[in-house]
Amino acid sequence: MSMYPQEIGPIPAETMRVARAAYPKGSLAMRLRDELGGLYQDEQFGSLFPSRGQPAEAPWRLAIVLVLQYVEGLTDRQAAEAVRGRIDWKYALGLELADPGFDASMLSEFRARLIAGHAEEQLLTAIVLATYDIQRKNDSLPPQLPCHLIPYNQIKSG
């Protein structure tokens, strides 16, 4: 599979309307999209895909699914079913309500690409830094990351 970067577009109007009606207070998946919408960009994962071949599912979507899958303790099959059937996940992924989703094997393939390309830390680092920034803006955390949360590649040697 090859990757053709896709922009993170707006949430379809009908998906937004139905999701807001179904979850008036929102859900974790919806807050993830609202507060961290551009957390992952396809370009971050460009090196994991060849330049030719059948187009892959948007890597930013797969990354969000992996995060939600982990938080909810779902198997690949359950996560793929959530993409197909859960309104709040469709909201988070910017999908039309009728979007059929993807096969569960896409998640294991993407996970294997992350590991083979030594890019798995990108998922964790991005979400840790983003959630820390949100909490810091709410004045609930100090202005600097505790040193055990600073990504290794950002530590400067003396």
Contacts (Cβ under 8 Å, ≥6 apart) of 131:
36
pLDDT at 51: 55
pLDDT at 150: 45
The span from the CA of 68 to the CA of 158, in Å, is 38
Mean pLDDT of 71-78: 93
Least confident of 50-64, 104-118, 132-146: 132-146
Nearest to 97 by CA among 87, 107, 106: 87
pLDDT at 139: 60
pLDDT at 56: 60
pLDDT at 109: 87
Nearest to 97 by CA among 109, 110, 86, 82: 86
pTM of the model: 0.73
On the question of pLDDT at 144 being above 90, the answer is no
Contacts (Cβ under 8 Å, ≥6 apart) of 11:
19, 33, 91, 94
Compute the mean pLDDT over every residue in the chain, rounded to the nearest whole number. 76
Mean pLDDT of 71-76: 92
Of 98 and 118, the structure prediction assigns the larger pLDDT to 98
Asked if residue 151 lies in contact with residue 121, where contact means CB atoms within 8 angstroms, the answer is yes
pLDDT at 112: 87
Task: Output the six-digit token pair for 126.
Answer: 């991005």
On the question of pLDDT at 38 being above 80, the answer is no
What residue spans define the domains of the chain? Answer: 13-119
